[in-house]
């Protein structure tokens, strides 16, 4: 999901897009020529009978020789069924699944050495204790099999097991076990994956594991592990693969992890590990290829000397508290003689220093993420030596200087994110000369000038591009015309002062996120928002010179969540066609235009609406009463020509924080229901014809505010850090917003006493 930042709608940390490899399964047909044993065939027939097999995977299960059936293998000498491999061969998650019940006859195949039922849907059953009668099993794979419930302790009878895989999904934890004692008999076990099996006793897991002296692969991802502190003498020294990610281990990295000299894969990510990362792990584990300790609270100056990482392929230190210089070498000299690194992700730490000046020894590097640190200095010209690079993320640092043209040689580059630095200078065609693979380009919040020829035809087809606060104009960038795949276009405050080009609609037909605000675009808005924009979910065209009516097609965008067309010259009536199915629409800002007519009742269909800004228009008439039921936080109707009694806000929805009705023709009393609005922070009724007295209950507000520490603005800010115009001043709702806390009732015909606590209002 995209997250909003104060610079627009840049989805940060796209860099985390890592390659997920699809596993290809090879399915071995039984090639043996032995004929099968009758009892075993009958067991298999019973088993098949109870299965649900919509894709007819078991259609070969007919005839006498069960050893020839798909997924069945027999021992050549004894003819006993030795292998049953019903692993789902399809790629799609729910294609080709077997379901139904597992007939207990299958547990009579007691010569079975290999049983694989992975990626099926036996979701109605527990793992039966009778499985334990398959005492010759060496390989048991029930991963993603759909089983649920307690693991039977009888499994400990399977003492010949070498491979045990009971893993399942990240988000469901269907299987659980009280403890891992039942494992300790598995002296031959090499491979154990219990990912997402809930350990009900999360502290007692290590000593049973330590009995498994043959263990090579241990995966306990998302098992709710807590403690790992036992000071144990490590028994399973053959370990080469250790994954304890997504648990709740909140200590320093336990010392026993240092003792695996054969370790090649270590994943401790997404725990709550603290303290200095022990470099000794790296010194002791010379074969380490994969290290992921991201999303913890680890510290240390780990990148001072990169040498120690040179033989690795994947290094992920992101989201920690690591610090110190990156590459603390004299005159930026070589760091690795030769490096195998493919992925370096050290984003969101506290690294400082300059980028190194030599990259030729990183020929395999595909992804480099240094974002959200304090790295300064220039982007070196030599970065073009990273010939395999696909992702380059340098955003939110202190890089300065201009972008070297040589970056345009990175012909494999798909993602370049350098937003929020102090880069300046001109970006021209040469910067993109060989970037044929580029699909994500984020340049916002630098001091860059984009200066490409009007006839330039880029070699890429971009999918997401943001250049907010760069100087893109004054002409509308003509090269965009060649792009057919744009999903996000962000050119806020890009100094574009031009007519909307006639071809823009074609370019935007698949757009989801569009921000062209704060430019000087002229022309009819219908040249930007067309009849059909099925993917549209956020639009900001605010602060331009656009004219025309608000397009009715906006009512057809089911996904629309954010609409800001404020500060233009839009005219006509508000769309009448808002629909209940627009369940995402939370923000409508149409202030400072030339709109007229009534607020349509259909607006009240938008049940998720949080912000409604219609100020400074020519809107008139009586407010529809249904507005009362919307859970609005901000309602700004100021500077219009509304008439009639002010609605009793607070009668239904209590979510209001800001109500601005200034400069209208509202009449009648101040409704008492306003006092129900416990989260109200700003109310202005200035310049209306309100009469009567100020309700005594207004006294409550000052008492409430006196104690207020948190406000709904904080939540609002996370979702929509965008300007709203109140009282003629732009207020950006960020966490630094001074709380408003104000009521202004002046210029009305109010009489009577001012309530005691409110005298400061007068």
The answer to whether residue 205 forms part of the interface with ligand NAG (CB under 6 A) is no
SS3 percent helix, strand, coil of the chain, rounded to 5, is 15, 25, 60
CB of 145 to ligand NAG, least distance (A): 9
User: Nearer to ligand NAG by C-beta: 98 or 418?
Assistant: 98
CB of 546 to ligand NAG, least distance (A): 31
Site for ligand NAG in 274-313 (CB under 6 A): 305, 307-308
The answer to whether residue 132 forms part of the interface with ligand NAG (CB under 6 A) is yes
One residue of 99, 401, 473, 712 binding ligand NAG per CB under 6 A: 99
CB of 441 to ligand NAG, least distance (A): 18
Task: Look at residue 622 and give its three-state secondary structure.
Answer: strand
Question: What is the distance of C-alpha 21 from the center of its chain?
Answer: 19
Within 10 angstroms of residue 675's Cβ, the number of other Cβ atoms is 17
User: Nearer to ligand NAG by C-beta: 271 or 518?
Assistant: 271
Q: What is the rounded CA–CA span in Å between residue 672 and residue 182?
A: 68
Q: DSSP secondary-structure letter at 675?
A: G
Half-sphere exposure (Cβ direction) of 496: Cα atoms closer than 13 Å: 31
The span of 57-65, 253-261, 596-604, 718-726 binding ligand NAG (CB under 6 A) equals: 253-261
DSSP calls for 366-435 = -EEE--SSEEEE---GGGGG-TT--EEE--SSEEEEPPPGGGGG-TT--EEE--SSEEEEEE-GGGGTT-
The answer to whether residue 241 forms part of the interface with ligand NAG (CB under 6 A) is no
Site for ligand NAG in 595-614 (CB under 6 A): 607
The answer to whether residue 171 forms part of the interface with ligand NAG (CB under 6 A) is no
One residue of 75, 125, 181, 352 binding ligand NAG per CB under 6 A: 352
Instruction: State the SS3 of 650-668.
Output: CCCCCCCCEEECCCCEEEE
The answer to whether residue 358 forms part of the interface with ligand NAG (CB under 6 A) is no
The span of 205-213, 420-428, 486-494, 521-529 binding ligand NAG (CB under 6 A) equals: 205-213
The span of 233-241, 399-407, 536-544, 661-669 binding ligand NAG (CB under 6 A) equals: 233-241
Unique residue bearing structure tokens 């584990």: 285
User: Nearer to ligand NAG by C-beta: 195 or 513?
Assistant: 195
Unique residue bearing structure tokens 């379901």: 99
The answer to whether residue 434 forms part of the interface with ligand NAG (CB under 6 A) is yes
Structure token pair of residue 209: 């594991």
The answer to whether residue 255 forms part of the interface with ligand NAG (CB under 6 A) is yes
Q: In which element (H, E) is residue 39 found?
A: helix 38-50
One residue of 2, 96, 686, 704 binding ligand NAG per CB under 6 A: 704
The answer to whether residue 582 forms part of the interface with ligand NAG (CB under 6 A) is no
Alpha-helical segments (H) within 407-565: 504-507
The answer to whether residue 439 forms part of the interface with ligand NAG (CB under 6 A) is no
Quick check: bond before 474 cis, omega within 30?
A: yes
The answer to whether residue 243 forms part of the interface with ligand NAG (CB under 6 A) is no
Alpha-helical segments (H) within 116-243: 206-210
Dihedral angle, C-alpha 370, 372, 375, 378, nearest 10 °? 70
The answer to whether residue 121 forms part of the interface with ligand NAG (CB under 6 A) is yes
Half-sphere exposure (Cβ direction) of 611: Cα atoms closer than 13 Å: 26
User: Nearer to ligand NAG by C-beta: 584 or 747?
Assistant: 584
One residue of 5, 162, 350, 482 binding ligand NAG per CB under 6 A: 350
The answer to whether residue 256 forms part of the interface with ligand NAG (CB under 6 A) is yes
One residue of 7, 43, 157, 264 binding ligand NAG per CB under 6 A: 157
Q: Which are the contacts of 649, defined by CB distance < 8 A and separation ≥ 6?
A: 628, 635, 656, 659, 671, 673, 674, 677
Site for ligand NAG in 310-349 (CB under 6 A): 321, 323, 329
The span of 76-84, 251-259, 539-547, 637-645 binding ligand NAG (CB under 6 A) equals: 251-259
Q: DSSP secondary-structure letter at 669?
A: P
Q: Which are the contacts of 713, defined by CB distance < 8 A and separation ≥ 6?
A: 657, 681, 733, 737, 739
One residue of 400, 412, 596, 631 binding ligand NAG per CB under 6 A: 631
The answer to whether residue 141 forms part of the interface with ligand NAG (CB under 6 A) is yes
Question: What is the distance of C-alpha 223 from the center of its chain?
Answer: 22
User: Rule CB under 6 A: which residues touch ligand NAG?
Assistant: 23, 33, 87, 94, 97, 99, 118-119, 121, 123-124, 129-130, 132-133, 141, 143, 154, 157, 163, 165, 187, 191, 210-211, 213, 233-235, 250, 255-256, 259, 305, 307-308, 321, 323, 329, 350, 352, 409, 411, 433-434, 607, 631, 653, 703-704, 707
């Amino acid at each position: 999901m995209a997250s909003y930042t104060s610079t627009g709608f840049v989805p940060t940390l796209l860099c985390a897009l890592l390659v997920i490899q699809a596993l290809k399964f090879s399915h071995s047909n039984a090639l043996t020529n032995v004929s099968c044993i009758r009892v075993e065939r009958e067991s298999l027939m019973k088993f098949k009978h109870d299965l649900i097999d919509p894709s007819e995977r078991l259609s070969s299960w007919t005839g006498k020789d069960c050893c020839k059936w798909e997924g069945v293998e027999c021992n050549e000498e004894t003819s006993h069924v030795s292998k049953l491999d019903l692993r789902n061969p399809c790629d799609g998650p729910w294609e080709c699944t077997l379901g139904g019940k597992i007939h207990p006859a299958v547990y009579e195949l007691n010569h079975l050495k290999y049983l694989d039922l992975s990626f099926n849907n036996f979701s109605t059953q527990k793992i039966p204790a009778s499985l334990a009668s398959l005492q010759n099993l060496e390989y048991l794979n029930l991963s993603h099999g759909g089983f649920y419930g307690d693991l039977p302790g009888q499994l400990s009878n399977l003492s010949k097991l070498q491979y045990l895989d009971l893993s399942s999904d990240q988000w469901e934890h269907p299987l659980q076990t009280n403890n891992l004692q039942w494992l300790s008999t598995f002296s031959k076990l090499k491979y154990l994956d219990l990912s997402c099996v809930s350990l009900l006793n999360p502290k007692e897991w290590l000593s049973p594991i330590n009995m498994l002296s043959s263990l090579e692969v241990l995966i306990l991802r998302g098992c709710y592990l807590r403690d790992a502190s036992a000071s144990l003498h490590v028994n399973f020294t053959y370990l080469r693969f250790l994954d304890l990610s997504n648990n709740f281990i909140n200590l320093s990295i336990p010392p026993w992890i240092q003792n695996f000299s054969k370790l090649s894969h270590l994943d401790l990510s997404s725990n709550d590990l603290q303290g200095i990362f022990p470099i000794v792990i790296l010194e002791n584990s010379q074969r380490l290829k994969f290290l992921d300790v991201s999303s913890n609270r680890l510290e240390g100056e780990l990148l001072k000397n990169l040498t120690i990482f040179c033989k690795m392929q994947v290094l992920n230190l992101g989201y920690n508290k690591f610090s110190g210089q990156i590459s603390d070498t004299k005159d930026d000299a070589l760091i690795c003689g030769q490096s195998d690194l493919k992925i370096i992700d050290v984003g969101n730490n506290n690294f400082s220093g300059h980028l190194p000046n030599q990259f030729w020894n990183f020929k395999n590097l595909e992804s480099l993420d240094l974002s959200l640190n304090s790295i300064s200095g220039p982007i070196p010209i030599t970065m073009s030596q990273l010939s395999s690079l696909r992702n380059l993320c340098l955003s939110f640092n202190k890089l300065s200087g201009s972008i070297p043209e040589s970056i345009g040689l990175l012909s494999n580059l798909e993602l370049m994110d350098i937003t929020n630095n102090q880069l300046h200078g001109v970006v021209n065609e040469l910067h993109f000369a060989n970037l044929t693979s580029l699909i994500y380009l984020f340049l916002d919040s630098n001091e860059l000038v984009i200066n490409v020829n009007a006839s330039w035809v880029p070699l890429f087809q971009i999918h997401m591009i943001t250049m907010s606060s760069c100087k893109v104009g004054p002409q509308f960038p003509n090269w965009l015309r060649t792009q057919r795949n744009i999903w996000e276009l962000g050119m806020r405050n890009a100094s574009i002062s031009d007519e909307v080009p006639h071809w823009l609609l074609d370019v935007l037909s698949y757009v989801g996120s569009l921000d062209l605000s704060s430019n000087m675009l002229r022309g009819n808005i219908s040249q930007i928002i067309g009849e059909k924009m099925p993917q549209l979910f956020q639009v900001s065209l605010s602060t331009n010179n656009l004219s025309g009516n608000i397009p009715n097609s906006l009512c057809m965008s089911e996904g629309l969540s954010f609409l800001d067309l404020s500060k233009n010259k839009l005219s006509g009536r508000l769309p009448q066609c808002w629909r209940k199915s627009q369940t995402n629409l939370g923000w409508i800002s149409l202030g400072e235009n030339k709109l007229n007519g009534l607020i349509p009742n259909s607006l009240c269909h938008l049940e998720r609406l949080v912000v409604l800004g219609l100020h400074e228009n020519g809107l008139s008439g009586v407010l529809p009463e249904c507005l009362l039921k919307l859970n609005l936080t901000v309602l700004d109707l100021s500077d219009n020509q509304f008439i009639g009694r002010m609605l009793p806000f607070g009668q239904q929805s209590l979510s209001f924080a800001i109500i601005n009705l200034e400069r209208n023709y509202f009449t009648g009393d101040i409704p008492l229901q306003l006092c129900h609005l416990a989260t109200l922070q700003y109310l202005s009724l200035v310049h209306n014809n309100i009469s009567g007295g100020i309700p005594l209950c207004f006294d409550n507000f000052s008492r409430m505010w006196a104690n207020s520490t948190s406000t709904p603005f904080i939540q609002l800010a996370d979702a929509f850090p965008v300007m709203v115009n109140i009282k003629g001043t732009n207020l950006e709702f960020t966490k630094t917003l001074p709380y408003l806390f104000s009521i202004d009732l002046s210029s009305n015909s109010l009489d009577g006493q001012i309530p005691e606590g409110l005298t400061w209002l007068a």
